[in-house]
Amino acid sequence: MTVPVDVRDLLRHPGAARTVAIDEPVEGLVTELVRVPGDQPIHADLLFESVMEGILVSGPITVTLSVDCARCLKSLRSPFQVDVQELFVSGAGDLDDEYPIADDEVDLEPMIRDAVLLNVPFSPLCRPECLGLCERCGGDRNLEECRCEPEIDDRWAGLSRLSFPDGSRATGSAGPLGP
């Protein structure tokens, strides 16, 4: 799919500028934990400026993300905005930093795709203090579904087998171990 914008009016007029409003869905914006729902349009208010090298496109892109919390896997929707500033030039290829101008048109879809996918949170959280799921029972600790006892750290497990000369054994709740 493409999001084409005709830039014929800008191309041969360095210094010319105009704004372009985008308001349409872009399919396939998905990472492991984040996706832009197919029914959610992308909003963008972009400034197109004719510069020596080509067309400079800048402005905010706003989307509604559907996010799975990286700790508790709860799904939620949250707004997301990223600011772009990208250069479109004639003859740009896949390996160039710039995006191409072809037939007096630019296609904004690859720029929108890159801007959103490279900037959405890699490890999103439903809230900063999310307690996540218990690794053993799978219960949601936010909802107090987990009743597991705290696990004894393996590095200390050996201590509970230590014997002392008087025959007592060290345990987690033993009294003072002083002389």
Q: How far is the CB of 141 from Zn ion (least distance, A)?
A: 8
Binding-residue pattern over the window 93 to 132 for Zn ion, x denoting contact by CB under 5 A: ---------------------------------x---x--
Residue 89 is inside which H or E element, if any? Answer: strand 75-90
Work out how close the CB of 117 gets to Zn ion at its nearest, in angstroms, rounded to a whole number: 22
Any idea of the CA torsion for 93, 97, 99, 100, to the nearest 10 degrees?
Answer: -30
- Return the H-helix or E-strand segment holding 9: helix 8-11
**140 strand-pairing partners:** 133
The three-class DSSP label of residue 126 is coil
- Phi and psi dihedrals of 119, rounded to 5? -120, -10
Choose between 71 and 116: whose C-beta lies nearer to Zn ion.
Answer: 71
157 near Zn ion, judged by CB under 5 A: no
152 binds Zn ion (CB under 5 A): no
Q: SS3 of 140, please?
A: strand
CB 40 within 8 A of CB 64: yes
Query: What is the pattern of x (binds Zn ion, CB under 5 A) and - over residues 6-45?
Result: ----------------------------------------
Q: Does 148 bind Zn ion (CB under 5 A)?
A: yes
Query: Can you read off the two tokens belonging to residue 154?
Result: 């393996």
How many of the chain's residues bind Zn ion (CB under 5 A)?
A: 11
Binding site for Zn ion (CB under 5 A): 69, 71-72, 126, 130, 134, 136-137, 139, 146, 148
